[in-house]
Amino acid sequence: MSDVGVAVVVEDDTDMRHLLAGVLGQAGFEVHTAHDGRTGVEMVRDRQPSVVTLDVGMPDIDGFEALRRIRQFSDAYVLMLTGRTAESDILTALQAGADDYIAKPIRPREVRARIAALLRRPRSGHSSGSQVVSRPEPSSGASQREESVLRHNGLSLDHRMRTVDVGGVGLDLTRSEFDLLHELLRSAGAVRSRRQLVGTLRGRFSPGGYISEADERAVEVHIGNLRRKLGDDPQSPRWLQTVRGVGYCLARKRSGDT
């Protein structure tokens, strides 16, 4: 096996399949390819890859259904590739368990950068479809652990333990939801643009990097999912405030809340 692990490419277009296999091979992966969704699901089951690229439009089952099946047994990083950029399609992919979403035509360097960013993010450590954030062992120093906890209006986030709770009740967040919430909490009320939050999901922010409308829509979808899990009302937010035309920030601190 290669140093970075196994990758599976699920793509019905022959040229695109070869291109992706070449990009991942150059990145050091042991690459396996599948030409349709059902074959891809079984290949993921057999090969247990760390990374999967998954096309949305395939002749048997589409990428959304293939992803749902994969998430029943694998926590591999999944990068969806598609020509669709409608918000509903992005929402479907992310809710089905995709880690990232990139629109065609693809740029090989961007694919490699996206995958490198995914690999820098903690794995969930679960083999089921749930993308619960990882919970590593706590550090031995109590003071170190206290410094890792961010609190706002009854919400507590421990970025070392990668746990979130509201009023003592734990929340199950995806990696992306956790990373966005952490960024907004540590920004302490400063506004973060959608472009900056795309950078948070990629693990770095490069002003010269290419960021598409689909990337910014993906941030909006993640924020919407996060609000739903928090039970936050966008009309009267307790935690996540939309700054129209710009991005997001923390809502104002409420008296009586820690």
Divide the 258 residues of the chain into consecutive groups of 10 and give the mean pLDDT of each group: 81 94 94 96 96 92 92 91 74 80 86 86 46 38 58 92 91 87 92 90 57 81 91 92 92 76
Does 142-250 carry CATH code 3.30.1180.10? no
Length of the chain: 258
Q: Is residue 1 within 8 Å of residue 23, measured between CB atoms?
A: no
Residues of the chain with CATH 3.40.50.2300: 6-119
> What is the predicted pLDDT for the residue at 139?
40
The pLDDT value recorded for residue 241 is: 94
Report yes or no: 179 and 238 within 8 Å, Cβ to Cβ.
no
72-101: buried (b, 16+ CB within 10 Å) or exposed (e) per residue? eebbbbbbbbbebbeeebbbbbbebbbbbb
CA proximity to 56, closest of 14, 22, 102: 102
State the pLDDT at residue 223: 93
Which backbone phi and psi does 248 adopt, to 5 degrees?
Answer: -145, 160
- The type of residue at 58 is M
Q: At residue 254, what are phi and psi to the nearest 5 degrees? A: -100, 140
- In angstroms, rounded to a whole number, what is the distance separating the alpha carbons of residues 225 and 219? 10
Alpha-helix residue ranges (DSSP H) falling in the chain: 14-26, 37-47, 63-70, 87-96, 108-119, 142-147, 175-186, 194-202, 213-230
**CATH-assigned architecture of domain 6-119:** 3-Layer(aba) Sandwich (3.40)
Span(s) in the chain for CATH 1.10.10.10? 142-250
8 Å CB contact between 119 and 78: no
| pLDDT score recorded for residue 147 | 60
Contact 120, 107 (CB under 8 A): no
